[in-house]
Amino acid sequence: MPAFKDLFKGKQKYVTVKPTSIQTEQPDGLWSKCTRCGQLTYTRELAHNLLVCHKCGFHFKLSAAQRLAITLDEGSFVEFDSGLVSADPIEFPGYAAKLERTRQATGLEEAVVTGQGTIGGYPVMIGVMDFSFIGASMGSVVGEKVARLFERATRQRVPVVMFCASGGARMQEGVLSLMQMAKTSAACARLSEAGVLYVSVLTNPTTAGVLASFASLGDIIIAEPGALIGFTGQRVIEETIRQKLPPGFQSAEFVLEHGMIDMIVERRDMKKTLASLLALHERRHEAG
């Protein structure tokens, strides 16, 4: 296996990013501005730093495709259930149109991509949530794809790595979206009983219904630095307690300190950390 950093060498061939889709101050999209520190960086350089600000270490959000590309071994990804698409079960105003718009804008069918691949040669079942798809909210399709992934992993006894990100349950599917919390958590329970490793990676932001279900049920829970991790939205808490929340509240560092996660891992170290964990959980010859 090549050294991890080598995976990012010599890949300056071409850029498929549409300039208009990049949040920058520059109209041509050559430059990106850091949300946290305001630093302007040449977009290509930022990308080669895995979309982590050189100056302050801020971890930009990644698309599902980007996350898979930097996590899995090259060419190893096989997608599952890509044909599952959301219906409009309670005929929620504007939902059908919103779905269509989002599909067009993101090129994604839904807020989670699931499949299998290898990390450092170790087979994994992998799920990646993409915040650009309606805030990676969990509706019927997200719940179904995640549950199917856990079930597949249970049957095949292959570890699961889930990159979580979500604004919560998808309100537009009413109570059906709420119940996906139960569906996915129950599927986690079965994976756990089968003795198969589940690593949950909390990325910015992992909140509400997703945090209160499969995201929190990993045997090992990792977070990216600075990720927002919390059950209740900060505005709601501030309205309840009628006080401003301190800076850093619900950050990855905050939840680590409070014992809710195992570790914080920087993006550039994520793949090798996952590979090490997978190696340590490799199934020995099961004698008897």
Binding site for Zn ion (CB under 5 A): 34, 36-37, 39, 53, 55-56, 58
7 belongs to the binding site for another protein (CB under 8 A): yes
Of the pair 74, 283, the CB lying nearest another protein is at: 74
**Cα–Cα separations (whole angstroms), residue 43 to 34, 62, 150, 162:** 11, 14, 36, 27
Which residue among 114, 116, 180, 203 contacts another protein (CB under 8 A)? 180
61 belongs to the binding site for another protein (CB under 8 A): yes
Which residue among 38, 107, 195, 248 contacts another protein (CB under 8 A)? 107
What lies within 8 Å, CB to CB, of 80 at 6+ separation is 114, 115, 116, 145, 148, 149, 152
Selected range binding another protein among 153-161, 206-214, 280-288, rule: CB under 8 A: 206-214
What lies within 8 Å, CB to CB, of 93 at 6+ separation is none
Of the pair 42, 231, the CB lying nearest Zn ion is at: 42
Binding residues for another protein, how many (CB under 8 A)? 114
Smallest separation, CB 210 to Zn ion (Å) = 26
Give the pair of three-digit tokens for residue 258.
């409070």
Q: Is 226 left (phi over 0), alpha (psi -120 to 50) or beta?
A: left
Of the pair 37, 245, the CB lying nearest Zn ion is at: 37
* Alpha-carbon torsion (3, 5, 11, 16), positive or negative: positive
Of the pair 39, 273, the CB lying nearest Zn ion is at: 39
Which residue among 30, 31, 57, 65 contacts another protein (CB under 8 A)? 65
22 belongs to the binding site for another protein (CB under 8 A): yes
DSSP states of 126-146: EEEE-TTTGGG-B-HHHHHHH
Helix axis angle for 267-280 and 64-71, nearest 10°, is 60
Selected range binding another protein among 153-161, 186-194, 273-281, rule: CB under 8 A: 186-194
Partner touching 55 among Zn ion, another protein, none, CB below 5 to 8 Å by kind? Zn ion
Of the pair 222, 283, the CB lying nearest another protein is at: 222
